[in-house]
Amino acid sequence: MSLTRLDRPDATTPGSTARDALPPVVTGGAGDGPSDGAGAVAVRPARRRRARVPVGGYVTMIVATVVMALPLVWMALASLKRSDELYRIPLQWLPERFDLANYAQAAESIPIGQLFLNSAALTVAGASLKLLLGLCCAYALVFLDVPFRRTVFVVVIFALLIPQQITIIPNYTLVASLGWLNTYQGILVPGLASAFGTFLFRQHFLSLPLSILEAAQLDGAGHWRRLWRFVVPMSGPTIAAVGLVSVVGEWNEYLWPFLVIDDASKMTLPVGLTLLQSIDGMTNWGVLMAATVLVTLPILVVFLVLQRRLVAGLTAGAVTG
């Protein structure tokens, strides 16, 4: 029942006050089907059989699920078909045998192993640094009493309102003048600042019991130790949510790495995917689908395994990253 409860971190983005009104609710109380609880049965006992199966509901649910899942299944199957199977009418669902030739051919056109490593390393580095920056910044905003901290908080919050497309040209010229085009730091550094994460961490820190930190202070623990020994261990779910959102964001990021990198060996997977599209053209679907599987599969696995935390993070606010 991983998705039944939308337990998000106890925070929302600035614009989401509307949702503050929604208490965290466990599913099961309110249904609108005829199979509702005893209350509904009691209302019209004569006309209603006890356990009527909502056939219409099931049919609709199955249709909706199939429509959503079909493209992904179709992609995965296509990546395993030989080209004579792909281009056959009427369409053939299953390949005669699972054939990895498409993957091999994708690897010939672009250095796909290298791209995979690039994406993985940049995702891990980016997400960890973002977490670190966010945690430190939020700690300072909540626990360090300096007169200008409100101003600093406003600076962080307003950054959430500034969209990428207005910063992209000046950042590109800056990165170019630093000689960072076609470098990993060129991809990584401009996107590191944490506004969303800092905001969520701040909300969470504000809810922590001050007494523990005061005790730690009396104990002589400095701020660094207080952060790592006391605050971080009490923030597991929020850290997981923010971390997972960052992982998804970094892995999927396209426009910025696409602009900064044109050396194939430095690309990330999504950028390599459009490169492959321009090399192999749109005639060779098997190869393109093989590469598409490689881009989507890791995130799908992360999603399936850590679904609850990831969804909590993604639904915590409108602005990610």
Partner 1 sequence: MSTLTAPARPATRRGPGRRTIRLRTYLAFLLLAGPNVALLLIFVYRPLLESLYLSTLQWNLGSPDARFIGLGNYVEWFTAPGTGTVLATTGVFTVATVGGSLVLGLALALLLNRRLRGRSAARTVVFAPYVLSGVAVGMLWLFMFDPRYGLVASGLGMLGLPSPQWYTTSPWALVMIIVVYLWKNLGYVALIYLAGLQAVPAELRQAAALDGASTVRTFRSIVLPLLAPTTFFLLVTTLLSSLQSFDIIQAMTQGGPLGSTTTLMYQIYQEGFVTGRAGYASAVATILFVLLLAVTVVQLRFVERKVHYA
| Subset of residues 114 to 133 that bind partner 1, contact rule: CB under 8 A | 133
The smaller minimum CB distance to partner 1, of residues 21 and 97, is found at 21
Give which of 152, 125, 134 is closest to 320, Cα–Cα. Answer: 134
Give me 230's structure tokens.
């006391």
Contact indicator for 255, 164 with CB cutoff of 8 Å = yes
Helical segments of 207-254, H only: 210-218, 223-225, 236-252
In the complex, least distance from residue 216 CB atom to partner 1, rounded to whole angstroms: 7
Per CB under 8 A, contacts with partner 1 among 33-62 are: 33, 35-37, 39-40, 43, 54, 57-58, 60-61
The single residue among 9, 11, 80, 86 that binds partner 1, judged by CB under 8 A, is: 86
Give me 120's structure tokens.
């993985």
In the complex, least distance from residue 108 CB atom to partner 1, rounded to whole angstroms: 18
Specify the DSSP element, H or E, that contains 32.
Answer: none
Rounded-to-integer distance, Cα 146 and Cα 139, Å:
12
Sign of the alpha-carbon dihedral angle for 275, 279, 282, 287: negative
Vertex 122, ends 135 and 266: CA angle to 5°? 155
Per CB under 8 A, contacts with partner 1 among 278-297 are: 282, 285, 288-289, 291-292, 295-296
In the complex, least distance from residue 98 CB atom to partner 1, rounded to whole angstroms: 18
Give me 182's structure tokens.
């076609």
- In the 8-state DSSP scheme, what is residue 231? I
In the complex, least distance from residue 207 CB atom to partner 1, rounded to whole angstroms: 19
The single residue among 49, 50, 84, 91 that binds partner 1, judged by CB under 8 A, is: 91
Vertex 192, ends 236 and 151: CA angle to 5°? 85
- In the 8-state DSSP scheme, what is residue 207? T
The single residue among 100, 117, 154, 176 that binds partner 1, judged by CB under 8 A, is: 176
The single residue among 10, 48, 72, 107 that binds partner 1, judged by CB under 8 A, is: 72
The reply to whether 30 sits near partner 1 by the rule CB under 8 A is yes
Residue 119: half-sphere exposure toward Cβ, Cα within 13 Å: 26
The smaller minimum CB distance to partner 1, of residues 194 and 266, is found at 194
In the complex, least distance from residue 23 CB atom to partner 1, rounded to whole angstroms: 6
The smaller minimum CB distance to partner 1, of residues 17 and 97, is found at 17
In the complex, least distance from residue 20 CB atom to partner 1, rounded to whole angstroms: 8
Per CB under 8 A, contacts with partner 1 among 210-239 are: 212, 215-216, 218-223, 227, 229
Per CB under 8 A, contacts with partner 1 among 240-259 are: 248, 251-252, 254-255, 258-259
Give me 179's structure tokens.
């000689």
In the complex, least distance from residue 203 CB atom to partner 1, rounded to whole angstroms: 16
The single residue among 45, 71, 179, 209 that binds partner 1, judged by CB under 8 A, is: 71
Rounded-to-integer distance, Cα 111 and Cα 265, Å:
6
DSSP codes joined into one string, 85-143? HHT-SS--SS-SS---HHHHHHHHHS-HHHHHHHHHHHHHHHHHHHHHHHHHHHHHHHH
With CB under 8 A as the rule, give the number of residues binding partner 1.
131
Rounded-to-integer distance, Cα 125 and Cα 112, Å:
20
Give which of 255, 273, 203 is closest to 17, Cα–Cα. Answer: 203
Listed in sequence order, the residues at least 6 apart from 163 whose beta carbon sits closer than 8 Å to its beta carbon are none
In the complex, least distance from residue 265 CB atom to partner 1, rounded to whole angstroms: 19
The single residue among 9, 190, 243, 321 that binds partner 1, judged by CB under 8 A, is: 190
The reply to whether 174 sits near partner 1 by the rule CB under 8 A is yes
Per CB under 8 A, contacts with partner 1 among 131-170 are: 133-134, 136-137, 139-141, 144-146, 149, 152, 155-156, 159, 161-170
